[in-house]
Each structure stands twice: as structure tokens, then as C-alpha cells.
Amino acid sequence: MVALILAAMTGLADYAGAQESGRTNNFGAVNTVKTSELQEGTTRKFSAEENKALNRSEGTNDRIKTYIRLARERLKNAQHLLDQDDYAGADEQIQVYAALVADADHFRAVSVKPYEKANKTLEQGLFEQLRALDAIRRNTISIYSKGAEQAYILVTRVRLQSLSALLGTGKTLFSRSDKP
């Protein structure tokens, strides 16, 4: 069990390291970015309707609400596929869900200032989705559990970062298990 958690944390750290390279201190960015300007690898996983919905959003809070809505739909699709015992399809939905959350985090880091309502919207939306994601993670068979486990860790990290930005502490909040 400990080895699985360490492997998941190592994979997440590698993933987060790849995410961090594009974030060089852009919290004060005034203009919002379009989906086409975000990381190329994650946007290829989104459907045309999802890209259209993301680019149609006007303000930062509307864009975050769109991310939350699209992520919720992906979670519902994954749960529906799990109910039908389609674990590969559910894993694919979870990977796209994780890409949406990572994209929302990147957007938040680039375009949303501390203390803005968009931080609260993202934190609350991810908090509501954590319970469903945890249920999906527990119902996934071991072959496909790595993606769900990494998605859970990613969502927890993004949620705590948005809460930290909302509070304006400048410090990264840790979950109980991540405290140094």
C-alpha cells in the first residue's frame, strides 16, 4: 500500500514538475488566455464542443465555471461506464477529467488574481467532485486504478492551491497526509 502511494506521489510530482515549467510567476496576468494558448497536450483530449464552450466564456469566473461543469460531465460519464463494467472507457474519461482539472489550474495560475471569486468557484467545485471521484477510484479495478489515483491526488492539490490563492496567504496548503 505504501509503495502504491509513493509511486502515485512520484508520478504526480513528475506531472506537476511538467506543469510548473509553464507557470513562471504569472499570477498577476491581466488578460485571460484562450484554450488554444494553453498546453498543447491537454487540449487535444478535449472534444470540439468542450473547446468551444471554454473559448466562449467571457470572464475568469465564467471560464472556471465552465471547467467545473465539463469536469462534472466527465465524472458522470466515467461513473456510467463503471456501472457497465467498461473500465477502459472509464479510465479514458478520468484521464480527460484530470486534463480538464490541470487545464483549469493552469488557467487559474495565469489569469486569476489572488482573492478573486474564481478561486472560490474552483475550490468549491472540486470539493463537490472529490466525493464522486473517490467513489470512482474505489470502484476501479487495479489495472486501471493508477489514473484514478493520480486524478484524485491532482484534484486535491489543485483544490488546495485555489483555496490558498483565495485566502491570499502565498503559502501552499497541504492535506493531512502531505504535511512535511
pLDDT in tens, 140-180: 888 888 888 899 999 999 888 888 888 876 555 555 555 54
Residue, of 152 and 118, whose pLDDT is higher: 152
Cell 491532482 locates to: 154
Count the domains in the chain: 1
State residue 30 phi and psi, 5-degree precision: -90, -45
Q: Per the domain annotation, does 7 fall within a domain?
A: no
Task: Name the residue range of residue 114's domain.
Answer: 40-169
Asked, for residue 28, whether it belongs to a domain, the answer is no
Per residue in 74-117, pLDDT (tens digit) is: 999 999 999 998 889 999 999 999 999 999 899 888 887 778 88
Residues with Cβ within 8 Å of residue 67, at least 6 apart in sequence: 54, 100, 101, 103, 104, 107, 122, 125
- What integer pLDDT is reported at residue 8 of this predicted model? 47
Counting beta carbons within 10 angstroms of the beta carbon of residue 85, is it exposed (0 to 12), middle (13 to 18) or buried (19 or more)? exposed
Record the pTM: 0.69
Residue 52 lies in a domain: yes
Examine residue 21 and state whether it is found in any structural domain, yes or no: no
25 in a domain, yes or no? Answer: no
Neighbours of 25 (CB within 10 A): 7
Domain assignment of residue 109, yes or no: yes
Percent of residues, the chain, with pLDDT higher than 90: 23
